[in-house]
């Protein structure tokens, strides 16, 4: 396991950042006396107990330091440039966690920011509903099964392993939203691997589409999401590699049974009960105990939303709305038209309004109900005894609305996708 310890070293993340054009400039220190004397507001970073500068470690090419009584950036050849000179050299200068950095490659910055977004909750809440309502519910449904199991195991593993994220400095942490979470494994890397791989594999099995196109799209998607974790300074190389490896291993274990699992969820009388009890147990008594910050709330959102969505599939089947439609061979690929775009946007807008309304109404009711049941005088959805049941009720209900209510609303309005209710298998 020595290679894992080696790849946890933040020097590799910092080196990748600098190679991609993220230039650390130093910490922002506002010194009013210094400013009055005409001095600089940029002071040197003081890591590892070294006053006014960096140790010559971690393989970094540029380090903030103070030279001859002035702030500056010392380059590897020994020359010293002022911080202001380095800032002028780069057009895009930002601050994160008090650390000043410059972006010398704006296209890479935008690409990896997009990659990070593709592993966030906001992306999942938009992508999966859109795909369900407007493209193919079989592919989306089975991808959700794979994604939810993988993400749950990843979140639980974080609370078992409890390895910290790379320290800043030497890395520049461009993303601070998930700083409180543990780092191993990278759940962004897990989602960024399992979603495109499962998605395009299922698409290839159902449609007349080039396997080379599917493989290329999956690889590009996965690479952008996974490398974004290094670029943004929030994971080590070991975190990302273990995230990729574990997600591929889980896919290989689950894929042979995915079709049977999907059929059971939609058709068996016990399916809603099993989904509800199993997801509740995984979020509570079966979730690993953890001191301090826990990823349990994130795991609860994922499992509850997935369980609600899959229960919605069962509701549609047992009410006779969805029916098995036998098809011969693979489906032809139907390319988007202006009509499809227009109807898709209308369906998506109706769905978003329904989900947002459900989130606020159910969320307020669930927070009040759980707070009352645990004996709180005031509603507090962030209370340790409230947050898990509050989130479970809210996201489970949103999943039901997503799958059972929104398609029926579009059906009543006459704008539902024509093949939606025949996509059982």
Distance (Å, whole) CA 77 – CA 88: 20
Q: Is 57's pLDDT higher than 50?
A: no
**pLDDT tens, position by position, 271-282:** 999 999 999 999
Distance of CA 2 to the CA centre of its chain: 28
- Greatest mean pLDDT among 156-165, 273-282, 331-340 lies in 273-282
**pLDDT tens, position by position, 88-127:** 454 565 665 567 777 888 888 899 989 889 888 889 989 9
What is this structure's pTM? 0.80
Measuring CA to CA, how many Å separate 146 from each of 134, 288, 376, 405? Answer: 20, 21, 38, 23
**pLDDT tens, position by position, 344-367:** 999 999 999 999 999 999 999 999
Q: Is 412's pLDDT higher than 50?
A: yes
CA nearest neighbour of 302 among 423, 165, 137, 123: 123
Strands, DSSP E only, in 31-79?
62-67, 70-75
Can you tell me the mean pLDDT for 40-53? 39
Strand order in the sheet with 99-103: 22-27, 99-103, 92-96
Are 142 and 258 spatial neighbours (Cβ–Cβ below 8 Å)?
Answer: yes
Tokens 């058709």 correspond to what residue?
Answer: 267
At 54 the pLDDT is: 37
Burial of 80 (0-12, 13-18, 19+ CB in 10 A): middle
Tokens 């700083």 correspond to what residue?
Answer: 179
At 342 the pLDDT is: 94
Measuring CA to CA, how many Å separate 290 from each of 82, 187, 246, 286, 287? Answer: 46, 18, 21, 12, 9
Strand order in the sheet with 62-67: 62-67, 70-75, 80-81
């Amino acid at each position: 396991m020595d290679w894992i310890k080696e790849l946890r070293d933040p020097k590799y993340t910092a080196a990748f950042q600098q190679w991609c054009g993220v230039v650390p400039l130093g910490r922002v220190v506002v010194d009013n006396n210094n400013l009055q004397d005409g001095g600089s507001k940029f002071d040197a970073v003081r890591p590892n107990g070294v006053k006014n500068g960096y140790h010559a470690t971690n393989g970094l090419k540029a380090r903030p330091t103070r030279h001859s009584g002035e702030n500056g950036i010392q380059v590897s050849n020994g020359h010293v440039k002022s911080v202001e000179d380095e800032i002028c050299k780069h057009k895009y200068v930002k601050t994160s966690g008090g650390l000043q950095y410059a972006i010398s490659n704006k296209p890479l910055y935008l690409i990896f920011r997009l990659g990070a977004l593709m592993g966030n909750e906001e992306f999942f809440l938009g992508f999966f509903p859109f795909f369900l309502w407007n493209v193919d519910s079989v592919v989306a449904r089975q991808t959700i099964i794979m994604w939810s199991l993988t993400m749950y195991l990843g979140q639980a593993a974080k609370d078992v392993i409890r390895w910290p994220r790379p320290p800043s400095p030497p890395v520049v942490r461009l993303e601070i939203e998930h700083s409180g979470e543990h780092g191993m494994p990278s759940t962004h890397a897990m989602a960024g691997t399992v979603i495109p791989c499962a998605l395009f594999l299922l698409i290839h099995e159902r449609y007349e589409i080039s396997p080379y196109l599917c493989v290329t799209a999956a690889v590009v998607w996965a690479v952008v999401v996974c490398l974004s974790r290094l670029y943004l300074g929030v994971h080590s190389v070991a975190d990302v590699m273990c995230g990729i490896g574990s997600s591929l291993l889980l896919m290989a274990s689950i894929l042979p049974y995915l079709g049977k699992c999907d059929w059971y969820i939609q058709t068996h009388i016990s399916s809603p009960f099993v989904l509800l009890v199993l997801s509740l147990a995984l979020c509570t008594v079966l979730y690993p105990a953890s001191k301090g910050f826990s990823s349990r709330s994130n795991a609860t959102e994922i499992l509850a939303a997935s369980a609600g969505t899959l229960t919605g599939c069962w509701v549609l089947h047992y009410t006779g709305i969805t029916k098995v439609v036998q098809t011969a061979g693979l489906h032809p690929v139907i390319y988007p038209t202006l009509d499809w775009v227009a109807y898709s946007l209308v369906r998506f807008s109706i769905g978003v309004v329904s989900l947002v309304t459900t989130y606020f109404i159910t969320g307020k009711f669930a927070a009040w109900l759980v707070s009352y049941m645990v004996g709180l005088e005031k509603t507090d959805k962030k209370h340790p005894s409230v947050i898990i049941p509050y989130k479970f009720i809210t996201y489970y209900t949103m999943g039901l609305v997503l799958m059972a209510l929104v398609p029926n609303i579009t059906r009543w309005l006459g704008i539902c996708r024509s093949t939606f209710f025949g996509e059982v298998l």
